[in-house]
Structure 1
Amino acid sequence: MFTLPIKRMRFTISAKLITALLAVLVPLSVMTLLLNRQGSGTIYEEISKSVQSRDAFYIQSLENALKGISQLMFEFVIDKELMEIGISEEPITSFERMNQVLVIQKRLHMLKASSTYIAEAKVFLPFSGRTIASDDYLSEIPPDEYAKLADNVDPSRVMAIGDRLFMSMRFPLSASGRKPVFIVVVELSADKLRESLQNIVNPDQGDSILFHIDENWEITNERDEEFARTMRTFAERQLQGDAAIGMVPTVLESAPYLVSYRKSDVLNTVLLVYVPEGNILGSLHRYERWIWVLLGFSLCIAFLLSISIYRIIHHPLRRLVVAFRKVEDGKLLPVEVGARRDEFQYLYHRFNSMVARLDALISEVYKKEILSQRSELKRLQSQINPHFMYNCLFSLNRLIQEGANERAYRFTLYLGEYFRFITRNADDRIPLREEMKHAQVFVGMQSIIYGDCIDVEFEPLADAYGDLLVPRQIVQPILENAYKYALGPLVLKGELWVHTSESDGYFSVWIEDNGEELTDARLAELASKLLGSGDFMEETTGVINVHRRIELMFGSGSGLSLTRSQLGGLCVEIRLKQDGSGKAETDVSNADRG
């Protein structure tokens, strides 16, 4: 059978096109994401440096401002008027003392005006129990303030009394149990400190906290006190190591934050700035999300393109491939062209033209082959008929010579039936029922010749296979060989068994004998000759003749098979291939093409 060597494709053209598209889109998208991640990292580093520089500037400015306040307070220690008023226990009523108080108030006012962080400047006079303020005159000393500030010897220390912040300097500076002569007190403005924190970070963007490590005070614009305490606890944990500055990302209350902190060793305070991560890297994150959206959109485009490729290229190409595979399987069917107006229309037309041409060529070859097979059948049949006729004449002559007139009479009746079968129909194929009846006529003739020396069991043919068409004289030559080579030479009683069966798509006629002279080597030799019979063109008779005629009519797989019989002799199986309906194939061309 003519076949087309089409290799089964695993990676189609459409799959290659889609893969190529993805091979371009995916690396570009991944590269864009990587660049965005790298840019995010670079921007994060720059932001971290900027934040740390800003925090350092603020801490340094605050240290300088409070250091300036401390220096101004230190100048009061060498003030002569303040020293005289401080050591005096007399009421300040004289004109001279009043002038001294006015000078001190003027200096306190100048101290207050020296820094925006100063809310009030005043002096406590413990010996007289009075307070001189920049805008007040000889008021009483607040006991809570005095108790907190009396023993302070560090002018840079910022202490909390309630919600107010103070710096102080006493004289004498030593606090060895002596009552101070005076105490210079500066009250810091918490509002100004909060305003200064707003210069670090916009309240709309984030917030900041300034707190003292040892003193229990803090300055912040955070309205949520609980959150402020949480941030302070976080900063204290970060400062447990050696790191005095840093910027770390963290998650607080299920929200990501960027937190920077810096410790002032001079003031023993910590500046903590925290900003939601989205406020700093939000644009980058949005850009990254847009990249993911673009990637998803690209995949959607790839999906839609794959559908388009499937409809425009893959589907019509697949139809053409399927059509070629049908041709490979022997089905020369055209492809429906439809209303296409592209290259596939030309391919379909060319394919249909090729299929039509192949079908015409194959039909022409088959017709020639069928005629050749019929000629071969006629030639083989012409070899069989004279061969058997010679044997019959010799047998009849022997019966007449022996004087077996009755047996000779019956023999001539059988012989008449035999020649009537040969001459009444010249068709190459006959129903199996007639072929088996003809075989029984032959067995009857042999029974006359051999008498009771041979027992014959001839099982009836099933009605379902009676109309099955087979070549003429395929059973009788096998029976003739059995009588001649197996049963005839036997000393003991011979046995012949003819029966049928159906298995694995084949209908079989079995002819078995109990011959004793067939060796295994001879059986293998006969089977080998039978398999190679198609390679010989010389005149053939007997078993090989039958095998070739059956094979010509029913195709490969049909014919004769030689094995050892259950009776001990030779078993010849006549195999006829069946079609899907359970009937044997009877068309020569169909058998060969299958």
Structure 2
Amino acid sequence: MKLQAAGRSRWLVYQKIVIVFIVFLIPLVVMNIWVNYKGLSFVKDEISESAVAGASFYSKQLDNELYFIRNQQLLFMNNRDLQKLSFVGGTVENYEEVQLIDQVKDSLLTLQSTSDYVVDTGVYIKSVGKMISMMNGVENTPNDTFRMISTLMETNPKPSFYRLGDRMLFIESENNSGIWSYIEISKGKLLAALNQIAALYQKSAVLLGEEKLGSILSTTKDTDVIPTMLSLVEEQSERNSNKPIIQKINGTSYFITHSHVSSLNLSLIMYVNQNELTSKLSQFNTWFFAIFVITIMVLLLYSFSIHFMIHKPLSKLTKAFQMIETDNLNLSIESKRKDEFHYLFNSFNRMAYRLKRSIEENYEQRIALQHSELKQLQSQINPHFLYNSFFNIYMMCKTGDSDTAAELSQKLGSYYQYITRSGSDEVPLFKEYRHSLDYCEIQCIRFSNRIRYEYAEMTHPVQSVLVPRLIIQPIVENVFEHAFEDGTMQGIVYLCVDYQEQGIRVTVEDNGNSLTDEKLEQLRTKLASSAEQKEKTGMSNVNIRLQLKYGAGSGVFVSRSQHGGLQVDLIINFTKET
């Protein structure tokens, strides 16, 4: 029988492949867009931080320079020659007074040369009634400079700097106003410093000012935005925040950063047109949309190619497997392809042929394996158990305990009669259960001083159900061999049979104390790989037999008992019986 065409298909696999592709593609696209936007945000933040760092660097340089000038002025006020001239002026000879004045002038020269921002330095000495400056020399007072300084000093409270028109001065007094010192700062030099900061960006401007005083210096000609800038910075300062501000003023969005110039108690504000910071980054948005369109096109092309390359041949292969499910093994798939599906079709044809031949062989081998497992279990008769039992009978006879000896002999005979019989491989469940209880009684007679057992009677209708022989006793034997091997406690074995909807559960428990979590896990692993073991124990043998007979849902399962020892459950699932 030849299959020429796949026929109409539900496209389930095809749809799944496309859906999986979309599921994997969408997160990648979303992640790519997210990474790009994150990158844009990162670059934007870097540019912003660079602007903030540049402005902060220059403002700190300016602040440090002005602080240095103020410190030099304070040091000059404590100059020995100046102090001496202040105290002894007018009481010394003219020569000595002139000499002190010259020395004060030298100190003023040194003070003026400390910074390029200093235009003029001067000092008024009350005791000699003179004003000494680097610009005007030595003058008697009152003069214009004296009157200007005295007027400025009347300002209350005392400001951090004094301003008169376009002039900026630092003024200090000492010795109860017996000495006045002033330093005039070059406004041109300060403006040049602000222009240097503004040169960081093309569309930026810098101003030095404060909301109440207004703008002291500014590099911009657009003075309309200055009051708003000062107001925004004042609000930020009240909140103790130095974060940059993005604000739209007069239709233009500005990036505003500020820092405090403490030497002047003013704010240095740099503002940049935000378009300058982001214009070069905005072109990436176009690429984002282009990537999205390309992704949709790739998805369509991928779906179309998958339909012809995978969906059609896969549908043909699926139909062939559906026919095998109806036990129709007389079929083959014809293929003109030269790809991997050609190999799959040929492999399917060979598989169908071999499957037909191996079904009978596999069934026969499985039956033979079950017989082999049972024979192996029957051959695992422990000679030490037989020898010890006979020795126990001998000792009981020697001690005159004939009743117990007779009972042990009867139980031992029944035990060996059951395990050595060569009749049917299946017995009623109650007989298998009774055989396990006989084994327990034998062990309890032998070790009457430290071992006993408890069991629940079988009252439900499943007691007559046929089960494989020797599936419970090997489990009980394992308890006596391993759970109570140290002999240091009163051992108890618990047996019960529980009927469930899907089958039967036989439970064997003990109260031994030698089972560790590591041993329990090893036992679970051993049972899980029973089929691969070359040498099988009684418990693994039972596990394989139950799985062969009733399916993978059946078998031997171990856990920790509520009594402290090992709990072994034998699961017989009738719904999976083969």
Calculate the TM-score normalised by the size of structure 1: 0.41
Calculate the TM-score normalised by the size of structure 2: 0.42
Larger radius of gyration: 1
